[in-house]
Amino acid sequence: MNEDRIAGNWKQFKGKIKEQWGKLTDDDFDVIAGKRDQFLGKLQERQGIAKDVAEQQLTDWQKRNPDFRWDE
């Protein structure tokens, strides 16, 4: 997947992610920048949840949004 497509994909899904996890800020999204590991860290921090809970929430969200692809 080329860089422009990844960036477009991230912008498209940021709104859906904000609906699910409203405590994440725009600054958080700048840090995350479409990278899964950074997302999990911010999710744990902002939501105050354990890593395994964050992983499960993210896995469930990804199942509901199969078109989303993380920047590897």
Kindly report whether the global pTM for this prediction surpasses the value 0.85.
Answer: no
Tokens of 53: 């809970």
Per-residue pLDDT reduced to its tens digit, 9-68: 777 788 888 889 999 998 998 888 888 899 999 999 999 999 999 999 999 998 998 888
DSSP string, 16-40: HHHHH-TT--HHHHHHHTTBHHHHH
Integer-rounded Cα radius of gyration of the chain? 11
